[in-house]
Amino acid sequence: MIQKLIQKIQKTHAPIVVGLDPMLSYVPAHIQKRAFEEHGETLEGAAEAIWQYNKEIVDHVYDLIPAVKPQIAMYEQFGIPGLVAFKKTVDYCKSKDLVVIGDIKRGDIGSTSAAYAVGHLGKVKVGNNSFAGFDEDFVTVNPYLGTDGVKPFVDVCKEEKKGLFILVKTSNPSSGEFQDRLIDGRPLYELVGEQVAKWGEDCMGDDYSYIGAVVGATYPEQGKVLRKIMPKSFILVPGYGAQGGKGADLVHFFNEDGLGAIVNSSRGIIAAYKQEQYAKYGEEHFAEASRAAVEAMIADIGTALERAK
Ligand SMILES: O=C(O)c1cc(=O)[nH]c(=O)n1[C@@H]1O[C@H](COP(=O)(O)O)[C@@H](O)[C@H]1O
């Protein structure tokens, strides 16, 4: 799957991921109205609204981008109907040939991680049958339980030719509280980065490992160091747009081959119509605003990478 991701990045010239993090408050009134007329103001109604919203955005951007990242929390808040909307979104994006990164941030003791890995990347056995539950292509993993919490995900990736993005240095303001703590004089995130590189060593696609890392766009200096510590790991870089990250901050997340990073924006794309610069599209044409925001993001990152050459 890492090869597919790379091929799609090369084909689209867009090292970007559209984050599908649908909050009900972003869903235009006409879509909410239709969903509520059919299902009432219920969890089912909310789930139908976010699904229709996602679908329209995907229909408007899928040809420009290699991948999407649905964040499962945004669906889980609507309970079982929300999870059904998550699965519909995953399947729809795959039918559009997009690489799907399930942002699930799981990680637990070994046996529990194994169940998460089976549910999201692998297949669960039921008698003589086996079923792929959610069937994303990549998932995000929290490594802070250590190797036995990560290994079951790696094992399933090997079997299924899928991949991981493991949290190393997160984009949020408090990420330094623990991640920057010095251990033997070095920040914890560097040690985690080294371990991600090790976990990835025998999981190579061609040039890159399918065991990747997450490093926030909001920490460009740390990104530069981590790029060197994990030369063969693809880095998922969230924090562009709504959290303040800009193209110029991101050049050191990439390798000299122009690859090695994929930048996520969620609110900045899916709720673009709420921003002043895209207000002309209006609520009715929200998905066209998303397309314009994707084009602007591709141009911003492309220009920054060109300048850095
Ligand atoms: O793993 C992630 O994707 C992630 C890691 C991180 O360090 N920071 C971060 O923002 N994310 C996710 O990336 C998305 C960012 O959303 P926006 O800030 O709206 O672009 C959310 O789904 C976050 O959960």
With a 6 Å cutoff on the Cβ, whether 104 touches ligand 1 is no
Do the interacting molecules here have an ipTM over 0.95? Answer: yes
Measured CA to CA, the distance from residue 123 to residue 308 in angstroms comes to 43
Active-site residues, by number, are 105
Q: What Å distances lie between residue 160 and 9, 120, 205, 235, CA to CA?
A: 21, 11, 13, 21
Tell how far the Cα of 238 is from the centroid of ligand 1, in angstroms. Answer: 5
Tell how far the Cα of 130 is from the centroid of ligand 1, in angstroms. Answer: 32
Query: What is the per-residue pLDDT for 309?
Result: 80
Atom of ligand 1 nearest to the CA of 171: 7
| Residue 210 confidence (pLDDT) above 90 | yes
DSSP state of 245: B
End-to-end Cα separation, the chain, in angstroms: 28
DSSP state of 17: E
With a 6 Å cutoff on the Cβ, whether 266 touches ligand 1 is yes
Contact in structure between 16 and 298 (CB atoms under 8 Å): yes
| Residue 8 confidence (pLDDT) above 90 | yes
Residue 14's pLDDT band (boundaries 50, 70, 90)?
Answer: very high
With a 6 Å cutoff on the Cβ, whether 107 touches ligand 1 is no
Tell how far the Cα of 243 is from the centroid of ligand 1, in angstroms. Answer: 9
Measured CA to CA, the distance from residue 141 to residue 112 in angstroms comes to 13
Token pair recorded at residue 85:
């909307």
Give the least confident one: 83-87, 190-194, 215-219, 241-245: 241-245
Q: Name the residue of 25, 104, 266, 270 whose CB sits within 8 Å of the most ligand 1 atoms, as the mutation to test its pocket.
A: 266
Atom of ligand 1 nearest to the CA of 74: 22
Tell how far the Cα of 280 is from the centroid of ligand 1, in angstroms. Answer: 27
Residue 106's pLDDT band (boundaries 50, 70, 90)?
Answer: very high
Strand partners, 237: 263
DSSP state of 216: -
Tell how far the Cα of 215 is from the centroid of ligand 1, in angstroms. Answer: 10
**Domains of the chain with CATH codes:** 2-308 (3.20.20.70)
Query: What is the per-residue pLDDT for 263?
Result: 97
Q: Please report the sign of the dihedral spanned by the C-alpha atoms of residue 174, residue 175, residue 178, residue 180.
A: negative
Angle at alpha carbon of residue 73, lines to 282 and 274, rounded to 5° = 15
Please name the amino acid found at residue 233. S
Contact in structure between 205 and 2 (CB atoms under 8 Å): yes
- Biggest alpha carbon distance in the chain? 60
Query: What is the per-residue pLDDT for 298?
Result: 97
With a 6 Å cutoff on the Cβ, whether 242 touches ligand 1 is yes
In this structure, which residue's CA is closest to atom 24 in ligand 1? 71
Measured CA to CA, the distance from residue 96 to residue 111 in angstroms comes to 34
Measured CA to CA, the distance from residue 237 to residue 16 in angstroms comes to 9
Q: Name the residue of 104, 222, 264, 290 whose CB sits within 8 Å of the most ligand 1 atoms, as the mutation to test its pocket.
A: 264
Interval 209-213 mean pLDDT: 98
Q: Name the residue of 18, 103, 174 whose CB sits within 8 Å of the most ligand 1 atoms, as the mutation to test its pocket.
A: 103
- Counting residues of the chain whose pLDDT is more than 70, the rounded percentage is 100
Query: What is the per-residue pLDDT for 290?
Result: 98
With a 6 Å cutoff on the Cβ, whether 241 touches ligand 1 is yes
With a 6 Å cutoff on the Cβ, whether 19 touches ligand 1 is yes
Residue 264: its H or E element? strand 261-265
Q: How many residues does the chain have?
A: 309
Taking only the tens place, the pLDDT of each residue in 268-286 is 999 999 999 999 999 999 9
Residue 308's pLDDT band (boundaries 50, 70, 90)?
Answer: confident
Q: Average pLDDT over the chain, rounded to whole?
A: 97
Q: What Å distances lie between residue 244 and 165, 185, 250, 274, 290, CA to CA?
A: 21, 29, 12, 16, 18
b/e per residue 212-229 (b: at least 16 CB within 10 A): bbbbbbbbbebbebbbeb
| Residue 258 confidence (pLDDT) above 90 | no
Residue in the structure block whose two tokens are 């790991």: 233
| Residue 206 confidence (pLDDT) above 90 | no
With a 6 Å cutoff on the Cβ, whether 171 touches ligand 1 is yes
Burial class (CB in 10 A: 0-12, 13-18, 19+), 36: middle
With a 6 Å cutoff on the Cβ, whether 222 touches ligand 1 is no
Interval 143-158 mean pLDDT: 97
Query: What is the per-residue pLDDT for 211?
Result: 98
Measured CA to CA, the distance from residue 115 to residue 106 in angstroms comes to 10
Query: What is the per-residue pLDDT for 107?
Result: 97
With a 6 Å cutoff on the Cβ, whether 274 touches ligand 1 is no
User: What's the 3-state SS for 111-174?
Assistant: HHHHHHHHHHCCCEEECCEEECCCCCCEEEECCCCCHHHHHHHHHHHHHHCCEEEEEEECCCHH
